[in-house]
């Protein structure tokens, strides 16, 4: 048997590209993520876009009529010292604010009690009609408000005959306008997780549909629902066309009437509305960022640290004392 010559083959080591380790104090960037400097520049530019008009409105509200360069808070004080005999009466404006807030509450209730259950039902039971529901909900954004008002007039004759002509009935019309703004965040949130598998898993563990929706589905849809509520409130507070053509007193229509007699007070209330919307946005953003499992995870970490500290010092933790008690009694 002849020996097979073995030739020595020299294999050169391949030079694999090495990922350079990020320098200390710097986090690596991925894809098109902007750098820290770019983020600060974008934040400053966006902040100026919002703050410059607010600062200009605040400066205008401090001006004194007929006196250039004189600033005081007289216009703010005059809001609380009305005199209908001299024509200074802001009660329609306050009534318009109350009417707008009532319309906000009713519109949000309509969205949460009708739109949200409908979307869950379609997603769980009738996924074939998902496109139809999306088309119906997106359709109002393609129709101008003035065209919708012309169509609402004969409908509101029937609505006024049944419910009266109070301002809160505008919620039925405004509810149609806010459909696209409420539908899109909820639909995006539903697409972010497997709703069908999650609900079937919860059902297989013995939960009924109410428990599954309340304790499993809604906690996973918190951000979408909160975003839908915020957009609904923002659209209702900014809606003018329908309230004006249907001759209802809301915040926007009252603000326009006040601006014709006292532009300083109108600017003060407009500034207050913008600040309220900003605070509402921050609060809703903070609420949407709350992690329901963070408290339990923090509690588990504290318990683990306490157990590790007790093991290191030789002292028994309450759980260890409980576990050792049966052993001593048995001995």
User: Does 306 map to a domain?
Assistant: no
User: Does 231 map to a domain?
Assistant: yes
Q: What is the model's pTM?
A: 0.69
pLDDT of residue 297 exceeding 70: no
Picking from 76-90, 144-158, 284-298, which range would have the lowest pLDDT averaged per residue?
284-298
Report residue 217 CA to chain centroid gap. Answer: 17
User: Does 314 map to a domain?
Assistant: no
Interatomic CA distance for residues 29 and 33, integer angstroms: 6
Interatomic CA distance for residues 326 and 152, integer angstroms: 76
pLDDT of residue 118 exceeding 90: yes
User: Does 101 map to a domain?
Assistant: yes
First-residue to last-residue Cα distance in the chain? 75
Residues 148 and 51 in one domain: no
Interatomic CA distance for residues 58 and 245, integer angstroms: 31
For 1-39, what is each residue's pLDDT tens digit? 444 444 444 445 555 555 555 555 555 666 667 788 888
pLDDT of residue 80 exceeding 70: yes
Count of all residues that appear for the chain in the document: 331
User: Does 171 map to a domain?
Assistant: yes
Residues 71 and 100 in one domain: no
Residues 207 and 62 in one domain: no
Domain boundary among 231, 261, 291: 261
Going by DSSP bridges, is the β-strand pair 63-64/67-71 parallel, antiparallel, or unpaired?
antiparallel
The boundaries of the domain holding residue 64 are 37-78
Residues 60 and 113 in one domain: no
For 41-70, what is each residue's pLDDT tens digit? 988 998 888 889 889 989 888 888 777 778
Q: In the prediction, which pLDDT does 24 show?
A: 55
SS3 71: strand
% pLDDT > 90, the chain: 12
Q: In the prediction, which pLDDT does 238 show?
A: 83
Interatomic CA distance for residues 14 and 100, integer angstroms: 71
The arithmetic mean of pLDDT across residues 97-116, rounded, is 91
Within 62-169, residue ranges assigned H as helices are 74-78, 91-110, 116-124, 130-138, 145-163
For 195-254, what is each residue's pLDDT tens digit? 889 888 988 888 888 888 888 888 888 888 888 888 888 888 888 888 888 888 888 888
Distances (CA, A) of 273 to 8, 101, 189, 238, 244: 83, 12, 28, 10, 19
Q: In the prediction, which pLDDT does 159 show?
A: 79
């Amino acid at each position: 048997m002849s020996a097979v010559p073995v030739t020595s083959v020299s294999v050169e080591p391949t030079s694999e590209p090495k990922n350079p380790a990020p320098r200390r104090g710097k986090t690596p960037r991925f894809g098109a993520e902007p750098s820290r400097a770019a983020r600060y520049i974008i934040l400053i530019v966006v902040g100026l876009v919002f703050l410059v008009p607010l600062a200009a409105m605040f400066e205008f509200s401090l001006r004194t009529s007929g006196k250039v360069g004189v600033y005081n808070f007289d216009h703010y004080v005059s809001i609380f010292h009305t005199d209908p005999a001299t024509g200074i009466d802001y009660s329609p404006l306050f009534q318009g604010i109350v009417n707008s807030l009532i319309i906000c509450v009713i519109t949000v209730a309509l969205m949460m009690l009708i739109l949200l259950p409908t979307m869950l039902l379609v997603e769980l039971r009738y996924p074939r009609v998902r496109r139809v529901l999306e088309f119906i909900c997106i359709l109002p954004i393609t129709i101008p408000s003035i065209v919708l008002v012309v169509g609402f007039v004969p409908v509101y004759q029937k609505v006024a005959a049944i419910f009266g002509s109070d301002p809160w009935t505008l919620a039925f019309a405004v509810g149609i306008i806010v459909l696209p703004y409420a539908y899109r965040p909820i639909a995006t949130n539903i697409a972010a997780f497997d709703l069908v598998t999650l609900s079937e898993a919860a059902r297989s563990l013995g939960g009924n549909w109410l428990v599954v929706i309340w304790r499993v589905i809604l906690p996973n849809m918190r951000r979408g629902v909160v975003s839908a509520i915020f957009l609904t409130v923002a659209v209702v507070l900014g809606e003018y066309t329908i309230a004006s053509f249907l001759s209802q007193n809301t915040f926007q229509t009252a603000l326009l009437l006040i601006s014709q007699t006292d532009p300083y007070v109108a600017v003060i209330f407009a500034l207050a509305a913008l600040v309220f919307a900003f605070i509402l946005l921050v609060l809703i953003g903070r609420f949407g960022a709350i992690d329901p499992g963070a408290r339990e995870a923090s509690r588990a970490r504290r318990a683990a640290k306490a157990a590790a500290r007790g093991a290191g010092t030789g002292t028994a933790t309450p759980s260890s004392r409980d576990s050792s008690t049966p052993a001593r009694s048995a001995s």
